Structure formats: C-alpha cells, structure tokens
Structure 1
Amino acid sequence: MSTEHIESVYQVLDQSAMMLKEDLQVSYMEALIETGENLLDNKTVRILDGKPSKYTQDELEALYEQVDLSEIASNELRQAIQLSILRGMREDFVQANHQMTPDSIGSLMAYLVEVLAPPKSETPYHLLDLSIGTGNLTYTLFHFLNRDNRIIQLSGIDNDELLLSLAATSAALQDVTISLTLQDALSNLLIEPADTIVSDLPVGYYPLDEQAEKFETSFPTGHSFTHHLMIEQGMNYLKEGGFGFYLVPSNIFESEEAKDLLAFIQKVGHFQGMLTLPKELFKTEQSKKSILIVQKKGVGTQQAKEVLLATAPDFKNLSAMQDLIAEITQWKHNFLN
C-alpha cells in the first residue's frame, strides 16, 4: 500500500474542501461531499447560483489535476477519505456518537468475522451495518473480506443525512457497491436478512418511547437504551445462524437493565463472546468499549461451552495480536465446532 498515494489524495480532498467551505459558506463535511462529487463528475466543478467563484473554480480544477484516481487502489482511497473525514470531524465539532470507527478496531472486527463467520467463495454474503455513519467500518471489512471470488453485498442504515451522503460519496470514489438507506434503524426495515451484522452502536437513550415499546429490551418506564434496542433489532434482521459483532460500552452488562438484554440474547440467540479493547484507545474508564459477539439461533448452532472472554493487546504489538487471533481460532475449534 502506498502512503504516498494516500497522502496525495488526502491533500487534494482537504485543500479543495477548505476552498469550498470558505467560498460556499458551508461546513467542512458538506464541502467534502461537494468536492467528492466534483471528482466523480470527471473533475468538473459544479456551479450553482454563480458559486463557487471563477477564481475558486480555476483553483479547484488545477488541484484536481494533481491526482489520477484510476491509478490509486480502492483501499488507499478509503484511507485518504478517512483522513479527510477525521479532519472534518475536528473542524465541524462532530458529536461523539457520530465519530468514525478507527481503522485499528475495524481491522480487528474484520479478523473476527473472518475467523467466526467467513464468507464462502461464489456464494452471496450479505454484510449489514445498522448505524453505518460515514461507512469507514463497513468499507474496512469489505476490503479485508473481498477476495477469493467472494461475493460481498453491502447494506447500511443511518438516520443522519449528512453522514449517509459521505458514506455514498466514499463508496463511489472507491468503486464499492452498497445499498444505503436513510432511516431510523429501529423502525421497520425493507432489507434482506444479513449473514453478518457489524455496527459501532450509538450509545444513549432512544427518544421515541412508543417505538421502543415494540422491543423486548425496552425499559418499563422512561427512555430505553438505544444500544440495547439495536442489538435486538440486529437479531430481527440476521439469518438463522448469523453473527452480530457490535462495538458497545465495556460496562454494558453492569446496569440493572442489562439482565433483560442478556435474557433476550439467550432467548433468540447465543452470547458467544466479548472482546475488551485496549485501554490505550480511550480517554477515560467510562468511555472504554468492547466488541460484543452474538449469534442468532439456527440449525446446528449452539451456545459455546465456554464464552470467549479476552482482552485485546496494544494494537502496535503485532506478535501479541497474532497470538490473540490464534487464541480465537482455537476457541472456535474447541467450543463452537
């Protein structure tokens, strides 16, 4: 992978977005979508109501000529877009629930999917994200899994129009096909059941009590936890035997309400594991997250005789990470097969 390619594309995206941000008086994220669409439209700058100015138009066209996207690998484009979105999140002061899932976590989730729920060659494999945001987690998994004649079908749901537009622009630049839906993921979804669901779940209270009451994991009074409801919704849209991999608060099972969540998981599926992420990734103890692994019941599935409980090492320690993947592979052989 060429860091030079990633840097060159990032510089073009960032500089052009900043130009459009100033000229159009929009947010960085909106400007990033605009510049992405310009690049997709054969590097043609879109003019609307006389904007951007002729000077900015000329500057943008000169900047766009510095890169040839056809010569850059899809995953390199993803990483350049990721850097631009990270810049945009700082520039626009994006709220915590809209922050992008880091590559390191995405890569670990990709390894988990490969070990526990791998796609088969030449058989369509539906990967769904119920809170896709900018799409970086989903695209990280796609590039990891998309090989050996595998047919990976991607779907993503989100109720934030701006983030979904970024996900769509990012996919188009990477030449990745995905079905994106602007919708509340806790409403009725018109999507096919998924082989695997991966999501960096939004954390907090869900404001629509009437909708929450339709779920078994809702609270008897007051607002319910969005992340509890989303895990239940995931079970509704998984194929029998399918896996869900969710980024959740590490203390998810420490609350009084957690017993209902666990009871629901065990009723319709299996609680197969929880992988605690390195503490170095998080600023406070309260912000620590883990990867929850659940499986929907199906023919031949079983609750693991021993639940996978492990702590990931520092991601910079390659040898320790390899040991972890070997440990998970051995766990599957011993307790799931």
Structure 2
Amino acid sequence: MNFEKIEEAYDLLLENVQNIQNRLGTNIYDALIEQNAAYSSGSEDELIHGNNLRLKKLNLTKEEWRRSFQFLLIKANQTEPMQYNHQFTPDSIGFLMTFLLDELVQEEAISVLEIGSGTGNLAQTILNHSQKKLDYLGIEVDDLLIDLSASTAEVMGANIGFAQGDAVRPQILKESQVIISDLPIGFYPDDAIAKRYQVASQEEYTYAHHLLMEQSLKYLKQDGYAIFLAPNDLLTSQQSPLLKKWLKEQASVLAMITLPTNLFGNQSMAKSILVLQKKQDAGIEAFVYPLHDLQSGEHLQAFVADFKKWKAEHAI
C-alpha cells in the first residue's frame, strides 16, 4: 500500500468535492456522490476533469481507494457530522470481523449479507482483506448512504451489491452463509411492524438492534454465522429479557468479544462482537474474550491463538 498515492488521491478528491459543493450549494456527501459520477462518466468542468485524469493515472488498488475515501469521510465528518449510526466501523473492528469470517466458514466461496451497510466502508474492508471469495450484498435504508456506497464501489471497481430497504421489514433475500452488522442502536418507530417479532416490547418502542438480530437469523443458512457489533449492555438493558428469551429459543451464542472503550469515544457507546448461530444442539461452550488493546501485536496474537484453539477443541 502506497501512502503517498493515498495522500495525493485524497487531495484530488477533496479539491473536486469542494469545487462541486461550492458550485451546487450542496452538502459534502452529495458532492462526493457527484464527484464519483464525474469520475465514472466524465465532467465538462476543466478542473474536475483534470483531477480525475490524475486520479486514474495513480492506478490505485482497492485498498488505497478505500483509505482515500475514508480520509475524505473523516474530513467531511469534522464539518458536517453524520449521526452516530451512520459513522463507519473502525478498521480494527473490520479486520476482526474479517478474521472471524475466514476462520469460521470452511468453504472458499461465501455468501455474505450485511444489514445496515452504511457508507460501505465495512463491506470494502472485509472484501479487501478476506482470504475467501465473497458474494457480498449490503442492505441499507438511507438514500444518501446507498448512493454514497454504490457510487464509491463503482469508482473502486469493487464486486459488491447494495440494495435499499428497511431491513426490519420483510425483504426478498436469499439465505446467506454469513450475516454481518454493525447494529444501529435506538428505538424502531413503527410499532405495527415491531409487534410481529418475538423481541417486541409491549410497553414502549422496541430496540431496532433487537429487531434486526431476530430478522437477520431468518436470512441465515442453518449452519451459517451471524457476526454482530452490538452494544455492551445488550444482555443487561431494559429490554434484554425479551432478547434473552428469543436467544434461548432460536439461537446459540458462539462467541462474545469485548472491545476497548477508547474505540467508541465513551463507555456508553462501547460495543462488543457477538457471534450467533441458529439454534444448535451441540452445547458448545461460548468463546468469551476481553480484547483490551488492538494496537498490541502480542495481545492480538494471543487472541488469534486462543480463538483457533477454541475452534479446534469444539470441531468448528
């Protein structure tokens, strides 16, 4: 990976986006979508056209593209902050999810469904680093994020599909071997839809992340895995008894990996990685592991070794 090329690509993207933003009077995210279209289809603007020719001559790899776009989104978030659920998943967590996917599934070709694919950064992280051949589909309800992720994927030449839809509502989707989600946290506003679920609250709006977990397993193959980034209070929150009842009946918890709180800004926003399967009868003891430092190579090596040992002991 060439960081000088990434820096140059970032500068060219930023200049084009700011030019488009000033000319159209739009927000920086819509301007980025316009820039992606100009890169793919051409532009009559001399500056934008010239910068895009220079971008093409850089011959960036998919990972160099991803990093360039990521830095641009970080810059954008400083002036026009995205809501918390729309911000991209940290790379270190994406790498952990990729490791889990590669270790858990034995097949070389894997179908993956991401619930709430957002900007597409997590999808691109997994696609760029997985050792498997992935058939990857992301579903996202937000118009802006779908346009952003799809146009970025086109620029990168990434083999990935995105579909717009509210994942809590029934969707026509094939079953996948792996479900992935950085679960959006909050209440789901449509009680009529929520009441169809086992985890539905009778006293208040139901947590959207609970509904998405239940819905996700409907799209999961029987021997597949659901890998969620979920809030630390998942099993202790006010509505957790409803979720735990559903889990006991419908799913097996295979792994729970707690993450450093400094990744999330503050303790209340902290999350853990949760791995589920549809209900199995094997009675596998869950892999529970506290990851305290994702910058420590020694700590991560110990985690990898312990996970592989657990996997071997349980013939997974």
Match of 2:6 in 1: 6
- Residues 70, 237 of structure 1: alpha-carbon distance in 2 compared, 3 angstrom cutoff: farther
Match of 2:282 in 1: 302
Match of 2:61 in 1: 73
Aligned length: 316
Residue-by-residue CA offset, 1:148-198 (whole Å, 9 max, x unaligned): xx4311111111010011110121122112221111111111111111011
1:330 has 2:312 as partner: no
Structure 1, unaligned runs of 5 or more? 47-56
- Residues 58, 126 of structure 1: alpha-carbon distance in 2 compared, 3 angstrom cutoff: same
Q: Which moved more, 1:65-74 or 1:284-293?
A: 65-74
Whether the 8 Å CA contact 1:241–1:297 is kept in 2: the answer is no
What pairs up with 1:230-245 in 2 under 5 angstroms?
230-245=212-227
1:292 has 2:290 as partner: no
Distance 1:58 1:176 in 2: 27
Residue-by-residue CA offset, 1:240-295 (whole Å, 9 max, x unaligned): 11111111111111124212212212322211121111122132211111111111
The list of structure 1 runs, each at least 4 consecutive aligned residues, that deviate by more than 3 angstroms after superposition, is none
Distance 1:62 1:93 in 2: 29
* Deviation at residue 70 of structure 1 after TM alignment: 7.0
Match of 2:257 in 1: 275
Match of 1:259 in 2: 241
* Deviation at residue 35 of structure 1 after TM alignment: 0.6
What pairs up with 1:1-337 in 2 under 5 angstroms?
1-41=1-41, 44-45=42-43, 57-68=45-56, 71-118=59-106, 120-121=107-108, 123=109, 125-145=110-130, 147=131, 150-297=132-279, 302-304=282-284, 306-337=285-316
TM-score by length of 1: 0.89
Whether the 8 Å CA contact 1:131–1:202 is kept in 2: the answer is yes
> Does the residue aligned with 2:177 lie in a helix, a strand or coil?
strand
Match for 1:97: what amino acid?
Answer: N
Aligned residues with identical type, % of pairs: 28
* Deviation at residue 336 of structure 1 after TM alignment: 4.8
Whether the 8 Å CA contact 1:272–1:303 is kept in 2: the answer is no
* Deviation at residue 135 of structure 1 after TM alignment: 0.8
Residue-by-residue CA offset, 1:275-322 (whole Å, 9 max, x unaligned): 111122132211111111111236xx6332x21111113221112111
> Does the residue aligned with 2:20 lie in a helix, a strand or coil?
helix
RMSD: 1.6
> Does the residue aligned with 2:267 lie in a helix, a strand or coil?
coil
* Deviation at residue 238 of structure 1 after TM alignment: 0.3
Match for 2:168: what amino acid?
Answer: L
Match for 1:302: what amino acid?
Answer: A
- Residues 69, 96 of structure 1: alpha-carbon distance in 2 compared, 3 angstrom cutoff: farther
Whether the 8 Å CA contact 1:86–1:100 is kept in 2: the answer is no
* Deviation at residue 69 of structure 1 after TM alignment: 5.7
> Does the residue aligned with 1:171 lie in a helix, a strand or coil?
helix
Distance 1:59 1:320 in 2: 48
Whether the 8 Å CA contact 1:313–1:321 is kept in 2: the answer is no
Structure 2, unaligned runs of 5 or more? none
Whether the 8 Å CA contact 2:5–2:58 is kept in 1: the answer is no
Distance 2:128 2:302 in 1: 23
